[in-house]
Amino acid sequence: MPRPRYPSAVVDLAEVRDDRRLHDYQARLRVVLETNRKALSRLFQSGLLFTRAGARLGRDLLLAHQHLLRAMDLLARMSEVPAHGGRDRSDPDAAALYAQVQALLARSSELSARSDGLLARER
């Protein structure tokens, strides 16, 4: 039986799954960062930023934005780590990072919803 010219590639499904998870989190983070930025813009443009509640919400949104940027940086660094060498992206540290990113996404979404509620009440 003749041997095939090109050997078939072996695909590590765990590596593909880790890559997909990482890219999904990066995409979700970009969306939440944009939503957060828009909420801050609406708060400023409406003038509500200069009220007590608006200032508190603006401060919370800025803090969430900082945390999201830091999480985006950590995910970018994680994407540079080769999954096949040294440190695996599915280790417990990575799971903790993904849990932290998930919590930040939830918190930022909650703050954006609060800003929408504040804007709706003031209209």
- Return the number of other C-beta atoms located less than 10 Å from residue 103's C-beta: 12
Higher per-residue confidence, 68 vs 92? 68
Q: Please classify residue 111 by burial: count the beta carbons closer than 10 Å to its beta carbon, then call 0-12 exposed, 13-18 middle and 19+ buried.
A: buried
| Spacing of C-alpha 37 from chain mean position | 14
- Return the number of other C-beta atoms located less than 10 Å from residue 70's C-beta: 13
8 A C-beta contact, residue 108 and residue 32: yes
Mean pLDDT computed over every residue of the chain: 83
Residue with tokens 């803090």, as numbered in its chain: 63
Global pTM reads 0.74
- 48 residue type, one letter: L
Closest CA to 118 of 34, 32, 42, 65: 42
pLDDT digits (tens, 9 = 90+) for 41-58: 999 999 988 999 899 999
Residue 84 pLDDT > 70, yes or no? no
Report, as an integer, the average pLDDT of 79-99: 68
Report, as an integer, the average pLDDT of 75-103: 73
Region of poorest pLDDT, from 24-28, 62-66, 87-91, 100-104: 87-91
Percent of the chain with pLDDT over 90: 22
Quickly state the pLDDT bin for 4 (edges 50, 70, 90): low
Can you read off the two tokens belonging to residue 105? Answer: 């996404």
The pLDDT assigned to 123 comes to 64
Quickly state the pLDDT bin for 113 (edges 50, 70, 90): confident
